Amino acid sequence: MPKNFVSNKDETVRMFENDFLEALSRVHFTVPLYIFLPVIAYFLSQSIQFNLRIFEIILYVVIGIVIWSLTEYTLHRFLFHYPAKSEFGKKIHFTFHGVHHDYPSDTKRLVMVPTVSIPLAILFYYIFEAIFGTIYVAPIFVGFIAGYLFYDMTHYAIHHFNMHSKFWLAIKNHHIKHHFESPNLGYGVSSPVWDKIIGTDFPKKK
């Protein structure tokens, strides 16, 4: 398992001996759009069929986006950067996230693979349904999935697109600092908001 290594090239490392598992560990960055844009359309139509008013739909979509942003921060900080001690734990960590820190420009490992994103989406849907009920879960799930897609596309763009606006440069610089300066800070990828609120933002330079 590679240690203290960072590649600046669009290259990868094999993680599984099994060819099928290896293929499942890579995905083109547009695949989440093909999978989850229809999901957003379906649950948005469900929200309308439930006769929710426009402002209610907008409100609960925003709530879903906020829930996603906190979920993104939490998963990145406590799961993807879990301080594994055992060799087995370190291998699991490398498979989940360590490989991205070693090969940050690998185009096929910048968005969440469907074998992970789909089960997680199903799990969160039923959690939201249990909390918010069968009616309000629809617009909340729309916002949650929209937030996830924004995260995935933003993550890919950070590593491969040239950005010029102050907004996008701020987001890109925040994540690049996480990679190359302080991996124990800056866990927000699509937004630095929770880092600022919780106190894991980068210290301001004097």
Q: Which residue has the higher pLDDT, 152 or 87?
A: 152
Please give the pLDDT value at position 7: 65
pLDDT single digits (tens) 19-68: 888 888 899 999 999 999 999 999 999 999 988 999 999 999 999 999 99
> What are the tens digits of pLDDT across the range 127-160?
999 999 999 999 999 999 999 999 999 999 999 9
Q: How many alpha carbons lie under 13 Å from residue 87 in its C-beta half-sphere?
A: 1
* Confidence label for 2 from pLDDT (cuts 50, 70 and 90): very low
User: In this structure, which amino acid lies at residue 202?
Assistant: F
Which tokens go with 18? 């099994």
